[in-house]
Amino acid sequence: MNLTHIEHIGIAVKSIDEAKSYYEDVLGLECYAIEEVEDQKVKTAFFMVGQTKIELLEATSDESPVAKFIEKKGQGVHHIAFAVDDVNKSLKEAENKGIKLIDKEKRKGAEGLNIGFLHPKFTLGVLTEFCEKQ
Ligand code: CMX
């Protein structure tokens, strides 16, 4: 497994419109993209910090994983995403080391990246994502 850097940190918020002003007006970051990921039932907003992104996540349905997360834990850090060379290979390696996978195979995420998640119950409570550029 070759983790090259932290690709993004996902943060669950109730409202991107409301949360954006903290990142823009207080932290001085610029929101460079807003995208809906229908498959995941989320709207996302991206800010760049060096080579790492902050990804705000707003649920677009009560069935969204982000809606469930906020209901249980409140707003806050939702997941950490590592850039890897090969998502499928990294998922397989993690599985071989006893980690339960959410995704057996890579799938499409925001910004056209290929992504795959590990289950937080097997990763010390931190929902972990692997990302790969196409
Ligand atoms: N971080 C840490 N723990 C989490 C978590 C998260 N983000 N989301 C859920 N959990 C925990 C819950 O607290 C719960 O723990 P307890 O059993 O101790 O209460 C357990 O995982 C099960 O959670 P649940 O609310 O019952 O929800 P599900 O089992 O239905 O789903 C999960 C949990 C992680 C499998 C699901 O949220 C998932 O598939 N996540 C990956 C996809 C995702 O999060 N997409 C949104 C972002 C997409 C993007 O970035 O593009």
pLDDT single digits (tens) 91-117: 999 999 999 999 999 999 888 899 999
Ligand 1 near 127 CB (within 6 A): yes
Q: Which domain range does residue 90 map to?
A: 3-132
* Short-list 14, 8, 17, 80, CA closest to 47: 8
Q: Is residue 116 within 6 Å of ligand 1 at its C-beta?
A: no
State residue 24 phi and psi, 5-degree precision. Answer: -85, -55
Number of domains in the chain: 1
Q: Is the CB of 67 under 6 A from ligand 1?
A: no
Q: Label residue 1 by pLDDT band (50, 70, 90).
A: confident
Q: What is the pTM of this model?
A: 0.96
Of 8-17, 84-93, 108-117, 121-130, where does mean pLDDT reach its minimum?
108-117
CATH number of the structural domain spanning residue 121? 3.10.180.10
Q: In Å, how far are 15, 26, 85 from 56, measured between CA atoms?
A: 9, 16, 24
Across the range 18-32, mean pLDDT stands at: 96
